[in-house]
Structure 1
Amino acid sequence: MSDTLENITTIGVLGAGQMGAGIAQVAAQGGFTVLLADVSQARADAGKAGIAKQLGRLVEKGKLAAEARDAILGRITAVVGAAGLAPGDFLVEAATENIELKKQLFVELDRAARPGVILATNTSSISITLIAAVTGRPERVVGMHFMNPVPVMKLVEIIRGLQTADDTYQLTLALAHKLGKTTITSKDCPGFLVNRILIPLINEAGFALQEGLGSAEDIDTGAKLGLNHPMGPLELADLIGLDTCLAIADVLHRELGDDKYRAPNILRMHVAAGWHGRKTGRGFYNYASKP
């Protein structure tokens, strides 16, 4: 059992996509040994290659020494599936925002992990209580919601499920702080704190675009200069992933039953078209034509 921060030396991350790779990078930069898992070796390797690319950019800008980059990458091992994370002292799931998938992954993580090891989920909207209930260690399950992009954003939202034990919560807080993050704590409610506030903003920006009130550029410039936001809601949605934004909006709308969380049709159609934002080259903006 990893009861203290000193006993956590190896962090396992399940999901080598944008969020999982970011979590793995931050953990490795924090001096931890990292196991980065996905459904295949190729996908896990691709996640590590993406980290190498990100660190390479820092080296080119003079923000990171080449030796430090090599040391960080040397602490990351790409593995396959939940079983590959068995040696981990703290495990974080960072898969697609789909409740049935997450429940299945937590069954696998519970089977693979040593007794007492904390199982954290990076979910941005799904009930921690519901996820914890499929495991044999519900008191050791917690929400650990990193913001995107993980290496840049300072915030981690900690969510306590109904079953989450105090020591699980405290150890997760301590780990987040060790990774250089600032934490907030939310009750286990749909969307938690950040997305409860953010999704109506993104939705309303989508409705404004859908109704022709202004161009995407006008809407985002209005938010940046009129609301003092560093990024407009539409470009932020593209960065998060429109599929993820839609999944969160649908959870909020379904669970809270309030139409203010309903997704605009333009968002639903973009997702149906496979235009998921930056990761696919097109979302509310077309990134294929950008340098």
Structure 2
Amino acid sequence: MSSPTPSDVTSSAPFHRLGLVGTGAMGRGIAQLAAQAGLEVMLHDARTGAVDEARDFIAGIWSRGVAKGRLSEDDQASYQSRLHEATELEDLAGCDIVVEAIVEDLDVKQDLFRRLEAVIADDAVLATNTSSLSVTAIASACRLPQRVIGFHFFNPVPLMKIVEVIPGLRTSREVVDHVDALGQAMGHFTARATDTPGFLVNHAGRAFGTEALRILGERVTDHATIDRILVDQGGFRMGPFSLLDLTGLDVSHAVMESIYHQYYEEARFRPSPLTRSRLDAGLLGRKSGEGFYCYQEGQAVVAKEPSAPAATPLPIWISREDPEAAQALSAVVTAAGWTLEQRDQPSPDSLCLLTPLGEDATQTALRLGLDARRCVAIDMLGGLDKRRSLMTTPATQTRYRDAAWALLGADGTPVSVLNDSNGFVLQRVVACIVNVGADIAQQGVAEPATLDRAVELGLGYPRGPLAMGDHFGGRRILSILDNMFAATRDPRYRPSPWLRRRAMLGLPLATPEST
């Protein structure tokens, strides 16, 4: 959604004068959008000179917009005229909404809101840009908790076209509707969510990094391979370890621990000890020059992938539990010119290719009565177009592993070789993302459509979690989780009731309750 012009929003914005406390990165972005939406903006910051810095920064953005032809000089002048300094909190008295964007500390925010209540009118709104604190808890310190609401933007505010609108338990419906309208007038998708730990986007994002860390901790493969698989096969813009390095472990680890503890040690959100030790070592990511990757001149140093080994072609036998997967693998074998066996059981020397969902290669081989020394499992969830992932049993002989590697890479498609794991890499991460999203829907944190759109905008996923489940197949996702839970007995992988019911009925995962 493009940024609105003054003429289209001035009459539609439910507020006219917005006060902003805190002019750091988040506050500046909110001020910019509010001015562009036709509001008079009063800027307050306890640090001397901070407001001038913020106005200069915002003016620079608008000047660059003019230089690039995206903004007229008249619009720039109009926007600029709406930014005013509030030297004291008392200068915010005439505001009909005040947004705080200060430090993430409950006591500090409560103290600020108490002071603001002594200044602003009783019908003015108090909004918090908190990303992790309870809106209800912040409001509990106020005389009029019904006018307190969460209004959570994402950094960088002008580019991240989403804002979460989070009422506390006592927030009035009128306040919710007005703040929602303000978010839309500021050019953002407004995601209404309940006041739960992580709200909507940060809650939905728990599985991506924590499951990738678990895979790394189990030594299934290295961090760079996990990133490659999730980008190439999963369609994610960035791998989880690149993202952790970008955000910084000092931020990410704290969020992981906070949400885990706020949900009373819910297994689906369990953090990894890997981030705790790396945080202690100062391996924060880009900001420290080293995280999961080392950085030179701001660029990650990534080791080159090993090439597929030379191997003598072997007869290929493919398990037929998944006919669609077997057909796709058969096409690869035929294109490479290798011999494809069509018999019910493999010949004594054939390479056996398995296509499990949520099982490891060992379990699948034994369940099918096959010789584990000749078995290699292939992840078919994400298809075979951009990358192929193979997984060996601990007993798989090098000859058969190399043959599978050479076969899958014969047409130049990159191949990732994994140690045995329930669910490979892609299956595990995708299933956990879908499962957390389904449980968000089950809890009523947000409407299914809101959940999917918020995750696309806030996290940059190729699809929201429910749409992702439908894309890969709800029954397949359920099978992955069921098999992982059966093998590990880890409650982390127990399927959400929302997911189980819809998958079993063959319904889209966004299907609402009937009542």
Task: Give the alignment of 1:1-291 within 5 angstroms.
Answer: 8-80=15-87, 82-205=89-212, 213-215=221-223, 219-237=226-244, 242-256=249-263, 257-265=265-273, 267-268=275-276, 284=291, 289-290=297-298
In 2, the alpha carbon distance for the partners of 1:13 and 1:165 equals 21
How far apart are 1:229 and its partner, in Å?
2.7
Q: Cα–Cα, structure 1 residues 19 and 269, in superposed 2: closer, same or farther, change >3 Å?
A: farther
Contact conserved, 1:154 with 1:182, CA < 8 A, in 2? yes
Question: Counterparts of 1:183 and 1:61 in 2: how far apart (Å)?
Answer: 28
Matched positions, count: 286
Which segment is superposed worse, 10-19 or 257-266?
257-266
Code of the aligned partner of 1:183: T
Q: 1:241 to 1:106 in 2, by over 3 A?
A: farther
CA distance in 1, matches of 2:295, 2:85: 29
Contact 1:92-1:120 at 8 Å conserved across structures: yes
- The letter for the 2-side match of 1:21 is R
RMSD: 3.2
Q: Is the 8 A contact 2:135 2:148 kept in 1?
A: yes
Offset at residue 140 of structure 1 (A): 0.3
203-212 or 240-249: which moved more? 203-212
Is the CA contact (8 Å cut-off) linking 1:16 and 1:48 kept in structure 2?
A: no
Q: Do 1:5 and 1:171's aligned partners in 2 also have CA atoms closer than 8 Å?
A: no
Q: Quick one: structure 1 residues 132 and 60, their matched pair in 2 at CA, closer, same or farther if it must change by over 3 Å?
A: same
Larger Rg: 2
* Partner Cα separation in structure 2 for residue 277 and residue 202 of structure 1: 14
Cα distance in 1 between the residues matched to 2:31 and 2:182: 13
CA distance in 1, matches of 2:111, 2:279: 24
Give 5+ residue unaligned stretches, structure 2: 1-10, 300-515
User: What are the Cα deviations for residues 248-268 of structure 1, in whole angstroms up to 9, with x where unaligned?
Assistant: 323212211224434445545
Q: Which moved more, 1:9-18 or 1:61-70?
A: 61-70
Q: Is the alpha carbon distance of 1:96 and 1:240 closer, same or farther for their aligned partners in structure 2, counting shifts above 3 Å?
A: farther
Instruction: Quote the offset at 1:277 in angstroms.
Output: 6.6
Cα 1:7–1:60 change in 2 (3 A) is: closer
Distance 1:206 1:47 in 2: 38
Change (3 A) 1:157 1:241: farther
Is the deviation greater in 255-264 or in 231-240?
Answer: 231-240
Question: Given that residues 14 and 178 in structure 2 are in contact (C-alpha distance below 8 angstroms), is that contact kept between their aligned partners in structure 1?
Answer: no
User: Contact between 2:248 and 2:284, CA under 8 Å: does it hold in 1?
Assistant: yes
Question: 8 Å contact 1:21–1:36 — kept in the other structure?
Answer: no
**Contact 1:14 / 1:81 at 8 angstroms: preserved in 2?**
no
Q: TM-score, normalised by structure 2?
A: 0.49
AA in 1 matched with 2:167: R
Over residues 32-54 of structure 1, what are the superposed CA-to-partner deviations in whole Å (9 max), with x where a residue is unaligned? 11122222132232223332333
Q: Which amino acid aligns with 1:19?
A: M
Distance 1:210 1:63, change over 3 A: farther
133-142 or 28-37, larger mean C-alpha shift: 28-37
Note if contact 1:281-1:288 (Cα within 8 Å) is conserved in structure 2.
no
Tell me the equivalent position of 2:409: none
- CA distance in 2: counterparts of 1:137 and 1:70, whole angstroms: 37
Deviation at 1:189, TM superposition (A): 0.9
CA separation in 2, counterparts of 1:129 and 1:259?
25
In structure 2, distance between residues paired with 1:271 and 1:112: 42
Q: Secondary structure at the match of 1:173?
A: helix
Greater Cα offset, 180-189 or 68-77: 68-77
Cα displacement string for residues 139-176 of structure 1 (whole angstroms, at most 9, x for unaligned residues) = 00111111222111221111111100111111111111
Partner SS state of residue 129, structure 1: helix
Kindly, what percent of the aligned residue pairs are identical? 35
Question: In the alignment, is the contact (CA less than 8 A) between 2:14 and 2:182 conserved in 1?
Answer: no
Contact 2:59 2:80 in 1 (8 A): yes
Shift of 1:78: 3.5
**Per the alignment, in what secondary structure is the counterpart of residue 236 of structure 2?**
coil
| Distance in structure 2 (CA, Å) of the matches to 1:275 and 1:76 | 40
Provide the C-alpha distance between the structure 1 equivalents of 2:296 and 2:127, rounded to a whole number of angstroms. Answer: 35
In structure 1, distance between residues paired with 2:21 and 2:79: 18
